[in-house]
Every structure is written in structure tokens, then in C-alpha cells.
Structure 1
Amino acid sequence: MRPKIVLFGDSITEESFREGGWGAALANHFTRTADVVLRGYSGYNTRWALRAIERVLGAEGVGGGEGVVAVTVFFGANDAAVHDRASAFQHVPLDEYKLNLRSIVSFVNKRWPEVVIILITPPPIDVEGRLRYVIIYYLFQTSGLPERTNEAAGAYAKACISVAGECGLPVIDLWSRIQQLDDWEKSCLRDGLHFTCIGNDVLFKEVVDTLRKESVSLETLPVDLPLCSEMYPNDPLKAFESQI
């Protein structure tokens, strides 16, 4: 059975199989060695993810759950929505966010004791981009204020890093990583939150590097069937004997 890498998160995960997406890039990267399974839910916060986790990752989820070697947990962008603005219904208080992340990690650990769990922080917010989005999407300008701020996203990113440290897990500090790039607001984010191709590429590379450090890589995962280059010219079927 092929190993599985499960992507569990919100809209940035749900969109990851679009053209240029970080999930699609992962599927291509592991094309002969692992199946990348998408479990992304647009708009979800950690509170809603916990309500759905049994259905999503439980006994009936992920194709029965056999062979899962890694899970990315990527929530926080919606939890960090400002509590008294247009996306208030998605907001989750910081302490609850941390508690919910711990509960998600605990569920995954019990489901797959040997699995590699990677936490990913929420990305930074381009406030100007989000404000334009609010005006267009909600058809009005909510007090002239965006429903997400970079300061709030940063607080939730720090909380995610803290939970990873408590649980002894690898974490991708996407909030800091993206802000290291020039003109990150426009080059990495198309609407102040969701990724452009460049933003997707940043996360793809971070996930591959982190998986490699946790011994999940092209070098450690065997291909499921012989490569064409391994076929014997005069007796191609002989190459299958070593895998029977």
C-alpha cells in the first residue's frame, strides 16, 4: 500500500490542488512514492475542525486510514479573524485556539501513533488587500476596517509555534517566512490572505524540507512499482520479481 500524506486545514489547504497550488506540487513531488490526500475546508477554524475530525480523519475517513505517514495541520487564519468585524463568526479566542490545536494533535497521535505531524502557522495578512476584499465581497466597507490584521495573525502564529514546542512537533512558521520576501504582500498573497503561485511555492518547499527532516522523502519512501529504467531489456517482467 502506498503511504499517505494527509493535508488537513482550511481554505488555503482546500485550494492547494488548484493550478500552482502547494498540495498539487506535493502530489507531483511524491507521484511514485506516496498519495497526497486533501482534507481542506474553506472557512473552517479549529473549533469547527474538531467537530468534524472524527468524520474527516476517523475510522471511515482517509480511505480507512491505512498507511498514513504524515499529516499537516494548517488552521489559524480564520480563528484569528477580528472578533467584532465582518468575519466575527469565524473568530476563536487565542487560548481556545491553542487548546483546539492540542486536541487535534492528540486525535491524530491516537489515530496514527507513528505519524509525522507538522503544524503550520497562519500566514501574514496584507491589510490593504483584505480591506479591498471586504469592500467587494461584503458590498460595504465595515467601518473602514479589514476583518483580519497582521498583528492578530502574528499572535496566532506564535501560539501555534508554542503548541508545537509543547507537543514536540515540527512547525512551519509561515507568518515569519513569507514576510522575509520582498513585496510579500502582493507577490505572495492575491487577496491579502490566500496564496499566489509564489506563496504556494514557499509553502511547498517548506513542507518538503520539513518532511525530509522527519525522514519522509523521496530517498526514504520506495517507489511502488519498478521504474522503467529498472526493466531488463530482454526480460522486462523480471524486474517485478523483487517486488512480489
Structure 2
Amino acid sequence: MRPKIYQFGDFITESFGDGGWGASLANHFSRTVDVVLRGYSGYNKRLALKIVDRVFPGAESSGAAAPLAVTVFFGANDACLPDRYGAFQHVPLDEYKRNLHSIVASLKKRWPSTLILLITPPPIDEVQRIRHPYVENPLGLPERTNEAAGAFAKACVETAGECGISVVDLWTRMQHYPDWRNAFLSEIHLVVSEDVGVIYKTSLNFWCSLLFLFIFQYFVGYNCSDIVCY
């Protein structure tokens, strides 16, 4: 039976269309690892905490082997501003951290040997959020800002450190590249070296590095050789 990677997240994780994050990860690991999506459009950490114990198979279930890794990718909705049209999705920063701690604790209790990877919310292209609002926007202001997303990204990184697990600081790393905004506008092509296909013979540290590499190449479109796993 193939090992599994679970992806637990919001609308970004849910995207399984052509070129979507979920579809690309499944394609990359085809015939070696089963990628199982648990993506929920519109969800924030508050809602995620309510379902985390129900969306995964129980550790005691027959044949339910522990997954190789679980990615936790929320925060974009939590970071909606409380005085804009997306206020119903907003979660205060301190509650966001508490919820994230609780989700990690639940996953660790269920699967002690599984690699847990947190992914911060991505940066926000505020101009595009104004041009393409989800609903009518009488204020003419973005419901999310890059500054707010950065605060939640920092909280995610801090939480990973407190929990002793790995984190992808997507918000910071994407902005290292001048054309990072294109990641939201066009298909991102993957550049993955051939030798990463040797899946079964790798250690968890290599898995961590591999997932980091894949995540950044997907969202940024660069061969990021300087990615650090921590």
C-alpha cells in the first residue's frame, strides 16, 4: 500500500483544477504516494479546529496506517480585516495561534510519527483584491492586506517553533522574487530534479526538504536551492 500525504487547508488546498496546488502535488507524487486532499473553501482556523478530529481516519481504524506527512495550510481567511467585507472570516491573532496549537496537538496525538508541516498564508496582492472582489465592495478597499497576512504568517512560524515542527514561511519566501504576484495570475510550472523520485528510500528529513522544495517551486516558479528545513 502506498504511503499517504494529507493536505489540510482552505480554498488553496481545495484547488484541484488544472494547475491547482492539490492537483500538482498529486501529479508530482503519482505512483509513489497517495495525496489526500482535505480542503475547505472559506474555512479559517476556528472552523478547522471544529472538524480536525472528523476529517481524518482514526488511528485505530483497520488498515489506517499513519500518513507520511500532513500539511496544515490555513490563515488566508483568518487574516481578513475585521472592518471590511470579509469580516465574517476574521479570527483574532491570539485565537489563531491557540487554534493552530490545538490542531497540531490533535494531529500529533493521532499520529506521533507523522511529519507535520505548517504553511503560512501567502502574501496578498492588494491591487488584484480590489479589482476582483469576491462580492460587492462599496468601500473600494481590499478585504485583506499584505501587512495583515504577514502578521498571521509570523504567528504561524512562531507556533511551529513552539510545537517543534517544520514550517514553510510562504509569505516571506515568495516576496524574495520580484514577480511573485504572477503566482496568482498564471500557471506555475514545476522544476523538480529527477532524483527526487526515489521516495521509499528517503528519511523524514529528506521528505521535509522535498516538500519544502515542491511547495516553493509551485507557488513561485523558481528552483529554490536555498530553502531551509526548520
Do they superpose with TM above 0.5? Answer: yes
**Residues 171-190 of structure 1: matches in 2 within 5 Å?**
171-185=167-181, 187-190=182-185
Give the 3-state SS of the residue equivalent to 2:75 in structure 1. Answer: coil
Alpha carbons of structure 1 residues 178 and 119: separation in structure 2 relative to 1, 3 Å: same
Is the 8 Å Cα contact of residues 124 and 175 (structure 1) preserved in structure 2? yes
- C-alpha distance in 1 between matches for 2:96 and 2:79: 9
CA deviation after TM superposition for structure 1 residue 9, in Å: 0.1
- C-alpha distance in 1 between matches for 2:13 and 2:119: 11
Q: Does 1:123 align with 2:122?
A: yes
Task: Give the TM-score, by structure 2 length.
Answer: 0.79
Q: Does 1:11 align with 2:6?
A: no
Is the 8 Å Cα contact of residues 58 and 111 (structure 1) preserved in structure 2? no
Task: Give the TM-score, by structure 1 length.
Answer: 0.75
Residue equivalent to 1:20: 19
Structure having the larger proportion of residues in helix: 1
Residue equivalent to 1:145: 141
Query: What letter is aligned with 2:167?
Result: V
Alpha carbons of structure 1 residues 58 and 83: separation in structure 2 relative to 1, 3 Å: farther
- C-alpha distance in 1 between matches for 2:20 and 2:58: 28
**Structure with greater contact order relative to length (CA < 8 Å, sep ≥ 6):** 1
CA deviation after TM superposition for structure 1 residue 89, in Å: 0.6
Is the 8 Å Cα contact of residues 85 and 142 (structure 1) preserved in structure 2? no
CA deviation after TM superposition for structure 1 residue 171, in Å: 0.6
Residues 5-32 of structure 1 show CA distances to partners (whole Å, capped at 9, x for unaligned) of 00000000000x2211232222222222
Which structure 2 residue ranges, 5 or more long, are not aligned?
Answer: 197-201, 211-230
- C-alpha distance in 2 between matches for 1:63 and 1:81: 40
Is the 8 Å Cα contact of residues 12 and 21 (structure 2) preserved in structure 1? no
- C-alpha distance in 2 between matches for 1:77 and 1:23: 17
Q: Does 1:87 align with 2:86?
A: yes
CA deviation after TM superposition for structure 1 residue 183, in Å: 2.4
Aligned residues, how many? 201
CA deviation after TM superposition for structure 1 residue 144, in Å: 2.0
Residue equivalent to 2:53: 54
Q: After the TM superposition, which parts of structure 1 deviate over 3 Å for at least 4 consecutive aligned residues? A: 62-65
Give the 3-state SS of the residue equivalent to 1:216 in structure 2. Answer: helix
Alpha carbons of structure 1 residues 153 and 118: separation in structure 2 relative to 1, 3 Å: same
| Percent identical | 59
Query: What letter is aligned with 2:14?
Result: E
Is the 8 Å Cα contact of residues 70 and 116 (structure 1) preserved in structure 2? yes
Is the 8 Å Cα contact of residues 66 and 111 (structure 2) preserved in structure 1? no
Which structure 1 residue ranges, 5 or more long, are not aligned?
Answer: 191-195, 220-244
- C-alpha distance in 2 between matches for 1:57 and 1:64: 13
Query: What letter is aligned with 2:3?
Result: P
Is the 8 Å Cα contact of residues 22 and 201 (structure 1) preserved in structure 2? no
Residues 211-239 of structure 1 show CA distances to partners (whole Å, capped at 9, x for unaligned) of 9762338x9xxxxxxxxxxxxxxxxxxxx
**Residues 133-212 of structure 1: matches in 2 within 5 Å?**
133-134=132-133, 137-139=134-136, 141-185=137-181, 187-190=182-185, 196-198=186-188, 201=190
Is the 8 Å Cα contact of residues 80 and 91 (structure 1) preserved in structure 2? yes
Residue equivalent to 2:206: 215
CA deviation after TM superposition for structure 1 residue 178, in Å: 1.3
CA deviation after TM superposition for structure 1 residue 65, in Å: 3.9
Query: What letter is aligned with 2:166?
Result: P
- C-alpha distance in 2 between matches for 1:22 and 1:101: 22
Give the 3-state SS of the residue equivalent to 2:54 in structure 1. Answer: helix
- C-alpha distance in 1 between matches for 2:203 and 2:29: 12
- C-alpha distance in 2 between matches for 1:64 and 1:91: 38
Query: What letter is aligned with 1:146?
Result: P
Which structure: larger Rg?
A: 1
